[in-house]
């Protein structure tokens, strides 16, 4: 008999450099002691310097992967990463609506580290109208939150307004990742109906930051699969990513990944 507990699924792109995407998610799941299954939405030629090429999967093939995993392994907690276009987002939503799970963490990958947009307006609309309402938690960084809410975040008041706007769009909870918000503190903001909670950790001064967003959302997903609350899962995931940054080391010429298997 399949038990929901401690089984996760990542629906995301493959990073050939293994610092972000599916590879980062699997490392995070393994490090935290949960089983991780995968659905590949895209394959990238990528290293620490940048992305050289991307091949997107078809929506039909993404659906086939989801149904294959869900019909047998039955993960309780699911996260999405790079979905790429509205066809894939719509396929994910349709497939998830036909399956049973407990939590969905949506990491809306929209902006490359270079600042370039990774998806078009129709994909953003699919995120908002179809995927956000299915989610337990949406985890945009500041740039992604700006793109979703269509407002500029240049103060704490504007950040709070942005978080509440995304809630009004249908998300159940929103975690705006404020890693660039303050000089010495990595502060994130969780918005839910009628409440805002801050999560703060000392900022680690390192260029080994590739995959931080993927790793944080994967860690939250892992802790949710263990039965932890959303708030407690975020607190534990923040501690995990802080140490992953603290004990990271350089492996390439660009922005190296975090150390998923760090030892405190």
Report the catalytic residues: 177, 209, 211-214
Task: Put the strands of the sheet holding 137-138 in their side by side order.
Answer: 51-56, 35-46, 7-15, 77-80, 103-106, 137-138, 174-178, 185-192, 195-202
CA end-to-end span of the chain? 36
Tokens 């947009």, residue?
117
Sort residue 150 into left (φ over 0), alpha (ψ -120 to 50) or beta: left
Specify whether the CB–CB gap between 218 and 31 falls below 8 A: no
Quickly list DSSP for 130-184. IIGGG-SEE--BHHHHHHHHT----SHHHHHHHHHHHHHTT-S-EEEEETTTSSS
């Amino acid at each position: 008999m399949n038990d929901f507990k401690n089984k996760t699924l990542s629906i995301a792109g493959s990073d050939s450099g293994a610092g972000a995407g599916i590879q980062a998610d699997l490392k995070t799941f393994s490090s935290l002691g949960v089983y991780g299954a995968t659905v590949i939405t895209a394959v990238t030629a990528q290293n620490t310097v940048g992305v050289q090429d991307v091949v997107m999967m078809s929506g039909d093939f993404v659906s086939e992967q989801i149904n294959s995993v869900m019909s047998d392994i039955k993960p309780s907690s699911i996260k999405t990463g790079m979905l790429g276009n509205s066809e894939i987002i719509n396929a994910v939503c349709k497939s998830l609506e036909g399956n049973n799970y407990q939590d969905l963490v949506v990491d809306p990958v929209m902006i490359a580290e270079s600042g370039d947009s990774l998806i078009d307006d129709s994909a953003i609309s699919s995120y908002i109208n179809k995927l956000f309402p299915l989610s337990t938690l949406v985890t945009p960084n500041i740039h992604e939150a700006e793109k979703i809410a269509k407002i500029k975040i240049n103060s704490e008041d504007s950040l709070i307004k942005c978080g509440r706007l995304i809630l009004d769009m249908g998300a159940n909870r929103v975690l705006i990742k404020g890693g660039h918000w303050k000089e010495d503190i990595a502060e994130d903001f969780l918005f839910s109906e009628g409440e805002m909670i801050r999560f703060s950790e000392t900022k680690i001064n390192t260029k080994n930051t590739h995959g931080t967003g993927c790793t944080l959302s994967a860690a939250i997903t892992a802790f949710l699969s263990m039965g932890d609350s959303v708030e407690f899962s975020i607190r534990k995931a923040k501690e995990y990513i802080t140490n992953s940054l603290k004990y990271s080391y350089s492996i390439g010429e660009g922005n190296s990944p975090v150390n998923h298997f760090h030892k405190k």
